[in-house]
Chain A
Amino acid sequence: MSSFKEFKIKWGMAIDLDKCTGCGACMVACQAENNIAPQPDASNKLKSLNWLVVYELTNGKPFPEHEVAYLPRPCMQCGKPSCVSVCPVIATEKNEEGGIVSQIYPRCIGCRYCMASCPYHARYFNWFDPIWPEGMDKTLTPDVSVRPRGVVEKCSFCHHRFMQAKDKARVEGRDPNALNDGDYITSCTEACPNGAIVFGDVNNPAHKVHELVKSKYAFRLLERLGTDPQVYYVSRREWVRRLGDNYLENEKVKG
């Protein structure tokens, strides 16, 4: 695996799984914000596009001990992304201050090697032509490019909002590389009715997320594989944390 840059700013999320009700508002907000085309038949979930998916987790116990949790899964924007080094045409990079893994649609050849490399299934392929029913094209977000058939796409942490926040800071005479907490948040963060998703600069002590990721109940998905995700989850329930990674029978869960 090739080495990756370290960044001064590291945009990240802390998702409190004990607050998430699985309502799916984050998924809907993401679809609308990021111009994900409606599909005539989305019944095959393995062929439909969702940059963010809410998984249902259970503790596997029968009633009355049965418990569920919901886990929203955006792109993890890994610190050591398995997808970046494998792309043959540099269509995906981790190169910009903030650590967001980019996806360059006009560069992607659609080989899907990045999808094979991602253990989170965060990458999606455009199996069909994106078609907006008449009138729905008016709902497109102007700052988000639409993608053609045959390329891979994924969550960008609403990168256009990052650009807008920096522009706003410049106009107001502030440093675009020192955004305040809340200046830049993703659409899923904004849509979550319970405030389960907190977004910000993980490296900045002035941002709420900085504190949250230090919680002893915080964990990241598949940490032991070495992908170093920038998305953190928080749960006080041990069984939920245990589902965040693969553990051998005798191994203890973090936190």
Chain B
Amino acid sequence: MDKNYDLPIDAALFPEGCTRCSLSKFLVWIAAVMAVFGWGLYAAFRVLSEGLGVTGLDDYFGFGLWITFDLAVIALGAGAFFTGLLRYILNIDPLKNIINLTVIVGFLCYSGAMLVLVLDIGQPLRAWFGYWHANVHSMLTEVIFCITCYCLVLIIEYVPLILEQKQLNRNKLVHAIAHNFHLMMPLFAGIGAFLSTFHQGSLGGMYGVLFARPYIARDGFFIWPWTFFLYVLSAVGSGPVFTVLVCTIMEKMSGKRLVTWEIKSLMGKIAGTMLTVYMVFKLADTWAWANDILPRSGLTFDQLFYGWIYGKWLLWAELFACGVLPAIILITPSLRNNRTLFYTAAILDCIGVTINRYVMTVQALAAPVMPFDSWETYAPNWAEWGASAMIMAYAALILSLSYRYLPVFPQEVKLNK
């Protein structure tokens, strides 16, 4: 057989029937990604060698950009467990066309969050104490257990996709393993849904249980504060559209259609439905907070906001511009099927959940509780931005390699004929 010398040098590794850019073009992109990664690696090295004193964190803001980043990516990575639940447990078959991407995005979000946590704790070598000396009363213990367990589940879900790589899959054993992994997938989707629901909730519960911090303290049901349920709902209300946005960015960068509009619209409908449910409860929660928890603590609504940096505009933006508005767009078929409106709603939805994680983390700590204490402000410094950028670069790297060499999108060949 004659060789086609017009194809990229690594064409034999591409998914069956798919075309990719030249290797040199790909390597230029990877070099740019690695430059960002290198900057972040330097920041991580400085943090680990000199301690957290090199960051912008302080005794008022023990939690800052990194925790916001972790909470936001874990919420946005919820597309993985929720889509898995719908695809494998509830048998919504069309989702098979985007499930691989949700798994990769989920894996990147969770592994990225864990990498950041290694930097964020003061004694990284003691990270295993979370298992060994677990405090069953702490929501953070539950988060530690579930995040690490769920990350393992995501690895198990990612492995068959790697084994399906064209050249690897020629090996009979690898082929058989990949096939068997696929058969077990509903089991892992179920475990993933269980673990993920609990830790999404525990992340919210972590804040709600802080009864001496009126900005975030919440009543609740049994041991779970309302934030427990709100975090689960907001994650499943934004995760699916985040996956769609990642997919669309990949389409723009590769110049190919990877998933049909129907699938994207379906993901939007799923997220929109959950976002609508979330917004109903979130609005009720905000009302109860302002009219019950705050007066009970001797505080007024106005006292919990400060200047521009922690102003009310953040709350209104979160609730209405990035909450109610995208929910309406995503659940209304005529609006959802207008692509400009759809993508606007998807972006607003993701911004909304990020604002929520930010204010619950940073504004909550900025707000003084003692009457003679003062508002403090927090700005992350280069070390925190650098380490966060490293995780973004890591995600870009894995996504790029996965897209180039793995059969991520089942519809790609058909859509690009």
Residues of A within 8 A of B (CB): 1-2, 44, 46-47, 55-57, 71, 82, 85-91, 107-113, 115-121, 123-129, 148-152, 221-222, 224-227, 242-248, 251
Chain A proximity of B372: nearest CB distance (Å): 5
CB 8 Å contact bits of B124-140 with A (1 = contact, 0 = none): 00110110011101111
Contact of B371 with A by CB under 8 A: yes
Judging by beta carbons under 8 Å apart, are A127 and B209 in contact?
Answer: no
Judging by beta carbons under 8 Å apart, are A111 and B140 in contact?
Answer: yes
Known: A112-B63, A224-B296. A120 touches B370 (CB 8 A): yes
Which residues of chain B are near A127, meaning CB under 8 Å?
Answer: 51-53, 57-58
Judging by beta carbons under 8 Å apart, are A112 and B62 in contact?
Answer: yes
Contact of B350 with A by CB under 8 A: no
Contact of B373 with A by CB under 8 A: yes
Judging by beta carbons under 8 Å apart, are A121 and B373 in contact?
Answer: yes
Q: Which residue of A lies closest to B361 (CB)?
A: A116
Known: A1-B209, A109-B130, A150-B51. A248 touches B123 (CB 8 A): no
- Give the top 6 A-B pairs by smallest Cβ distance, nearest first: A110-B122, A150-B122, A112-B62, A246-B298, A119-B369, A46-B58
Q: Which residue of B lies closest to A105 (CB)?
A: B123
Residue of A111, A125, A150 touching B59 (CB-CB under 8 A): A125
Cα–Cα, bound, A139→B296 (Å): 47
A-B contact pairs, 15 of them (CB 8 A): A44-B58, A57-B372, A86-B209, A86-B210, A88-B144, A110-B122, A118-B212, A119-B212, A120-B370, A127-B53, A148-B123, A150-B121, A151-B122, A151-B123, A246-B371
Cα–Cα, bound, A86→B300 (Å): 26
Which residues of chain B are near A55, meaning CB under 8 Å?
Answer: 370, 372-373
Judging by beta carbons under 8 Å apart, are A248 and B141 in contact?
Answer: no
Chain A proximity of B214: nearest CB distance (Å): 7
Judging by beta carbons under 8 Å apart, are A110 and B137 in contact?
Answer: no
Q: Which residue of B lies closest to A86 (CB)?
A: B138
Judging by beta carbons under 8 Å apart, are B372 and A88 in contact?
Answer: no
Judging by beta carbons under 8 Å apart, are A225 and B212 in contact?
Answer: yes
Judging by beta carbons under 8 Å apart, are B212 and A117 in contact?
Answer: yes
> Which of the four size classes fits the interface of chain B?
35 or more
Contact of B213 with A by CB under 8 A: yes
Chain A proximity of B235: nearest CB distance (Å): 20
Residues of B within 8 A of A (CB): 50-53, 57-63, 120-123, 126-127, 129-130, 133-135, 137-141, 144, 206, 209-214, 295-300, 364-365, 369-373, 376
Q: Which residue of A lies closest to B127 (CB)?
A: A109
Which residues of chain B are near A150, meaning CB under 8 Å?
Answer: 51-52, 121-123
Known: A46-B59, A82-B211, A149-B51. A87 touches B372 (CB 8 A): no
Which residues of chain B are near A222, meaning CB under 8 Å?
Answer: 212, 369-370
Cα–Cα, bound, A56→B374 (Å): 12
Known: A118-B212, A128-B53, A246-B298. A71 touches B372 (CB 8 A): yes
Cα–Cα, bound, A108→B209 (Å): 20
Cα–Cα, bound, A128→B58 (Å): 11
Residue of B51, B59, B138, B376 touching A87 (CB-CB under 8 A): B138
Given A116-B210, A149-B51, A151-B123, 10 other A-B residues pairs in contact with their CB atoms under 8 A: A85-B138, A85-B209, A88-B129, A88-B141, A90-B133, A108-B123, A118-B212, A119-B212, A243-B372, A244-B371
Chain A proximity of B64: nearest CB distance (Å): 10
Which residues of chain A are near B123, meaning CB under 8 Å?
Answer: 108-110, 148, 150-151
Chain B proximity of A95: nearest CB distance (Å): 12
Judging by beta carbons under 8 Å apart, are A86 and B139 in contact?
Answer: yes
Cα–Cα, bound, A34→B127 (Å): 27
Judging by beta carbons under 8 Å apart, are B369 and A113 in contact?
Answer: no
Judging by beta carbons under 8 Å apart, are B121 and A90 in contact?
Answer: no
Chain B proximity of A29: nearest CB distance (Å): 21
Which residues of chain A are near B127, meaning CB under 8 Å?
Answer: 109
Chain B proximity of A154: nearest CB distance (Å): 11
Residue of B130, B211, B300 touching A226 (CB-CB under 8 A): B211
Judging by beta carbons under 8 Å apart, are B62 and A115 in contact?
Answer: yes
Cα–Cα, bound, A90→B134 (Å): 7
Q: Which residue of B lies closest to A251 (CB)?
A: B298
Judging by beta carbons under 8 Å apart, are A225 and B209 in contact?
Answer: no
